[in-house]
């Protein structure tokens, strides 16, 4: 009767968790998720207008299949439980592989026991092979008749860098997800310092120098430049007339408006309403701003009759009845502001990952043993560099 060695379940779990099969399956799962996000428009969050726009487009594109696709979670891939579980699995796998790679780096300091079957190398001398291996920057351990050749330490170091970098990268993304924030579409007037809502952070943009300044700890970039106007009105005696944007706000003598969208304001004393339409909501090219006129329409209120309509390019003076409306060009910028506390772990992790992967491609792990047995040279382990073909037909 053959005595069976009891199988260690922890070892089996470890082997499965660090296997290439599981790694490939997890990577393919995440890849599939990302490719789906590239092909199918994802549901916008925290923006009802964008959500409504997305829904109408999705229904127009996918028709009756839209509800089914929504039920399957195809429009919310990156926020789905499966996708996040796969990312967590990847992080766990990278941690185990990191430990394994660290252990291998440590163990491979010394000569190891040969593994695998020995193959004869007829007509080749050990001294010649050792000379070549030295030339190809292999480390030689041991003395004839048995020697080990490998690429320690760098070949064992690169996987360590790749796994560590990948893990750090995922940690960075998690920190960003948990504690980071982003403000899209923040409208800032040139020269104006804007404090961001619910934070102490501030941003400032200078139209002349195109420079953006901000408080430390945040990043920002200009999405687009939008036209804006400073409006003032006066009657024929030169008296300044007050302007009011909504009934809830106090009238002011001077109004500054960003024309990212259609804007209205009233001149109550003259019973006029002014409507300003930006150039078709498209990004403004600062070089050819003159080619992007603003449509100005002035209505009598009541009765809501159009009194005048014109297009203005930059500064302009419009007269209607006894009122002169003075418009001055004021440039605005639409900014995206980001606070990313995971910036450094993400950046360092990404760099380590790329260096580790490229290093592993150029200088992969290779370990082989050579022995002379009865004047016959034998090899086991990875193939000798001279015997690898490197051929691609």
Selected from 2, 45, 249, 361, the binder of another protein by CB under 8 A is: 361
CA-based end-to-end distance of the chain: 53
For position 37 contacting another protein by CB under 8 A, the verdict is yes
State which of positions 194-233 bind another protein (CB under 8 A): 218-221
Selected from 20, 115, 200, 248, the binder of another protein by CB under 8 A is: 20
Q: Smaller CB distance to another protein: residue 33 or 331?
A: 33
Query: Rounded to whole angstroms, how far apart are CA atoms 52 and 59?
Result: 11
For position 115 contacting another protein by CB under 8 A, the verdict is no
| CB of residue 382 to another protein, shortest distance in Å | 11
Q: Smaller CB distance to another protein: residue 3 or 38?
A: 38
Calculated CA dihedral for residues 297, 301, 304, 307, nearest 10 degrees: -40
> Cβ(190)–Cβ(205) under 8 Å?
yes
Q: Smaller CB distance to another protein: residue 112 or 350?
A: 350
The verdict on whether omega for the bond into residue 302 sits within 30 degrees of 0, i.e. cis, is yes
Binding mask 317-356 toward another protein (x if CB under 8 A, else -) reads -------------------x-xxx--x--xx--xx-xx--
Binding mask 155-174 toward another protein (x if CB under 8 A, else -) reads ------------------x-
Selected from 12, 13, 16, 34, the binder of another protein by CB under 8 A is: 34
Query: Rounded to whole angstroms, how far apart are CA atoms 299 and 275?
Result: 8
Q: What sign does the CA torsion over 20, 24, 30, 31 have?
A: positive
Q: Smaller CB distance to another protein: residue 16 or 34?
A: 34
| CB of residue 227 to another protein, shortest distance in Å | 24
Write the DSSP symbol of residue 129: H
State which of positions 364-393 bind another protein (CB under 8 A): 388-393
Q: Smaller CB distance to another protein: residue 87 or 323?
A: 87
For position 290 contacting another protein by CB under 8 A, the verdict is no
| CB of residue 185 to another protein, shortest distance in Å | 15
Burial of 246 by CB count in 10 Å (0-12 exposed, 13-18 middle, 19+ buried)?
exposed
Task: Provide the token pair at 340.
Answer: 């990313």
Write the DSSP symbol of residue 115: -
Selected from 27, 52, 72, 262, the binder of another protein by CB under 8 A is: 27
| CB of residue 31 to another protein, shortest distance in Å | 4
Closest to 290 in 3D by CA, of 316, 309, 308:
316
Task: Provide the token pair at 25.
Answer: 């399956």
Selected from 13, 16, 24, 50, the binder of another protein by CB under 8 A is: 24
State which of positions 48-87 bind another protein (CB under 8 A): none
Query: Rounded to whole angstroms, how far apart are CA atoms 203 and 210?
Result: 13
Query: Rounded to whole angstroms, how far apart are CA atoms 339 and 219?
Result: 6
Residues that bind another protein (rule: CB under 8 A) add up to a total of 44
Closest to 370 in 3D by CA, of 379, 383, 381:
379
Q: Smaller CB distance to another protein: residue 102 or 341?
A: 341
Query: Rounded to whole angstroms, how far apart are CA atoms 77 and 42?
Result: 8
For residue 376, the surrounding DSSP H or E stretch is strand 376-381
Closest to 259 in 3D by CA, of 283, 236, 235:
283
Which stretches of the chain bind another protein, using CB under 8 A? 20-21, 23-25, 27-28, 30-35, 37-39, 173, 176, 182, 218-221, 336, 338-340, 343, 346-347, 350-351, 353-354, 357-358, 361-362, 388-393
């Amino acid at each position: 009767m053959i005595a069976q060695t009891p199988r260690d379940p922890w070892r089996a779990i470890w082997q499965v968790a660090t296997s290439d099969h599981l790694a490939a399956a997890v990577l393919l799962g995440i890849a599939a998720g990302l490719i789906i996000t590239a092909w199918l428009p994802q549901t916008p969050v925290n923006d009802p207008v964008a959500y409504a726009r997305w829904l109408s487009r999705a229904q127009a594109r996918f028709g009756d299949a839209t509800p089914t696709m929504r039920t399957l979670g195809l429009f919310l891939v990156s926020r789905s439980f499966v996708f996040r579980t796969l990312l967590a699995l990847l992080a766990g796998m990278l941690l185990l592989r990191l430990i394994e790679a660290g252990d291998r780096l440590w163990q491979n300091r010394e000569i190891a026991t040969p593994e695998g079957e020995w193959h004869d190398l007829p007509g080749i001398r050990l001294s010649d092979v050792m000379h070549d291996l030295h030339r190809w920057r292999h480390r030689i351990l041991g003395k004839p008749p048995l020697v080990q050749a490998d690429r320690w330490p760098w070949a064992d170091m690169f996987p360590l860098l790749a796994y560590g970098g990948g893990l750090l990268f995922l940690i960075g993304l998690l920190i960003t997800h948990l504690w980071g924030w982003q403000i899209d579409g923040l409208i800032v007037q040139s020269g104006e310092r804007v404090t961001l809502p619910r934070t102490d952070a501030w941003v400032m943009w200078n139209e002349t120098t195109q420079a953006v300044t901000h408080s430390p700890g945040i990043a920002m970039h200009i999405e687009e430049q939008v036209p804006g106007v400073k409006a003032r009105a006066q009657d024929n005696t030169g008296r300044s007339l007050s302007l009011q944007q909504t009934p809830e706000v106090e009238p002011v003598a001077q109004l500054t408006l960003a024309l990212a969208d259609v804007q209205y304001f009233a001149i109550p004393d003259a019973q006029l309403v002014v409507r300003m339409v930006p150039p078709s909501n498209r990004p403004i090219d600062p070089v050819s701003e003159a080619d992007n006129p603003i449509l100005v329409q002035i209505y009598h209120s009541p009765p809501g009759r159009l009194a005048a309509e014109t297009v203005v390019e930059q500064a302009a003076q419009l007269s209607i009845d006894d009122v002169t409306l003075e418009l001055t060009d004021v440039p605005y910028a639409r900014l995206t502001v980001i606070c990313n506390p995971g910036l450094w772990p993400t950046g360092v992790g990404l760099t380590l990952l790329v260096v580790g992967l490229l290093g592993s491609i150029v200088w992969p792990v290779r370990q082989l043993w050579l022995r002379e047995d009865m004047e016959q040279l034998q090899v086991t382990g990875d193939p000798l560099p001279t015997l690898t073909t490197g051929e691609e037909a």
